[in-house]
Amino acid sequence: MSRHTMYVGATLLALVAVLVRMAFGRPDLLPWYLVAWGLYVVALWLARSMPARQRAVLVVAGGVIVTATGLVAPPSTSTDSYRYAWDGRVQAAGISPYDHPPADPALSPLRDGWLFPDDCDAPDRARVSQGVCTRINRPLVHTIYPPLAEGYFLLVHWLTPEGSRHKGLQAGGALMAIAVLLALWRWAGAGRAACWAWCPAVPAEAVNNAHIDMLGVLLVVLAFCVVRGRGALLGAAIAAKLIPATALPGALSGVLKGGVAWRRIAAVVVPAVLVIVLTYLPYVLISRGSVAGYLFGYVQEEGYEAPSARGRYAVLRLVMPDSWAPFAAILLLALVVLYVLRYGDPERPWGGALLVSGSVLLLFTPEYSWYALLVVALVAMDGRWEWLGVALAGAVGYLFGPATLAYTLAALTVLAGWAVRRARRSRTVVERGAAQEVGAAR
């Protein structure tokens, strides 16, 4: 065993210890999260010098162990999975999840002591009515999740033994995270796969908090690992969580180069739209209410209409009035999408997807670390490590508060990475030109 392998192994053991402590959710969670990310970066750096075979083994085995740390405790920093469990239970009773909020008395026969405990004083409780509280967040509003996510919640409910509580959702998140690891390992190699395998966001958000974003990430990764079926898989990803829509322009990279490649556009967009429509159709037919659920209310609640309310558009607001920020964000995002459609490399669609997905987070600055799981997976595919700072910035915002500084540093890191890569490409072009001149002179 090489010296670098031992160093990486020791670093991963320290990372596992920190992740286990994080899973039990202490008040001082942010410092430990930063330590975990520091160990993660050190492990990635040291792994560059490892022998290929030892690195492959350590990436897969270490990735499985790191992922499994999310299973050691109940959800520590998010209550979203309680809504998932409730939506699955409601559907198993033959009721559309879009028709009733959890607080509706019509669903009271489905309540139990886990999701509706007697103690209303705990920090993860929301009051439903006099003497009734729940672990489900926003119990007074309808569900927000798209249809494929709802189908997943129902499947987990069916497959999970009664009384398992959160464990089925966490196990599902772990299996999907490992599936992404294996897909990346086979498709991009162990060096790239390590970016996903050891990332602290994976056990924390995909497994411990069991966020449904993991299903969307898995489908996007599979979409970019194939050519046929890419549009359908991206449509399924969007039907699981809307954020994967940011990967769609990547699949259309370069379609505006030298004209409009209508066939390529149709080959991606038509199957994607068809899958989205087909997944929504059963719920449209059985639901009395809107299948959009609380989506539009959520956008307003999160402050995207009033930037200063929740720290949105934090980077843009450093250089312009608050009232300009939403319009500037939309304009800049449109320009990024247009750049990908015009100049993106169709042979590397994940590169365009990373540019759009990462730009969305930098421009709108949401304070949810699980939104960046897609960015982490796309970094593993593309290799532009500077975008990992975007994932860390969301976690800082979620655990600590306004993330203006974190997102600003992440944006500067991305710009620095772009400048370095551009300088390297220019130097390479100059060196090749000089070599050709020397060859011609001879």
Task: For 410-422, write each residue's pLDDT tens digit.
Answer: 999 999 999 998 8
8-state DSSP, 245? G
Query: Rounded to a whole number, what is the largest CA-CA distance in the chain?
Result: 91
Q: What is the pLDDT of residue 436?
A: 62
Distance CA 123, CA 121 (A): 6
Neighbouring-strand partners of residue 127: 133
More confident residue, 132 or 300: 132
The secondary structure of 330-360 as a DSSP string is: HHHHHHHHHHHHHH--TT-HHHHHHHHHHHH
Cβ-Cβ contacts under 8 Å for 170 (sequence gap 6 or more): 70, 71, 75, 81, 207, 208, 210
**How would you classify residue 78: left for phi > 0, otherwise alpha for psi between -120 and 50, otherwise beta?**
beta
pLDDT tens-place string over residues 144-162: 999 999 999 999 999 999 8
Distance CA 93, CA 429 (A): 64
- Of the pLDDT bands very low, low, confident and very high (cuts 50, 70, 90), residue 26 is low
Q: Phi and psi (nearest 5°) for 195?
A: -60, -40
Q: What is the pLDDT of residue 311?
A: 77
Relative orientation angle of helices 349-364 and 373-382, to the nearest 10 degrees: 140
Relative orientation angle of helices 349-364 and 325-343, to the nearest 10 degrees: 170
Q: What is the pLDDT of residue 4?
A: 72
pLDDT tens-place string over residues 223-249: 999 988 999 999 999 999 999 999 999
Distance CA 392, CA 402 (A): 13
Relative orientation angle of helices 213-225 and 167-188, to the nearest 10 degrees: 20
Count CB atoms within 10 A of the CB of residue 106.
Answer: 9
3-state secondary structure of 128: strand
Q: Phi and psi (nearest 5°) for 194?
A: -60, -30
Look at residue 323 and tell me whether its pLDDT is greater than 70.
yes
Instruction: Look up tokens 């490590």; give the residue.
Output: 385
Neighbouring-strand partners of residue 133: 127
Q: How far is CA 35 from CA 11, 48, 283, 371, 410, in A?
A: 11, 21, 44, 21, 17
pLDDT, mean over the chain: 91
Q: What is the model's pTM?
A: 0.93
Mean pLDDT, range 255-263, rounded to an integer: 93
Amino acid at 318: L
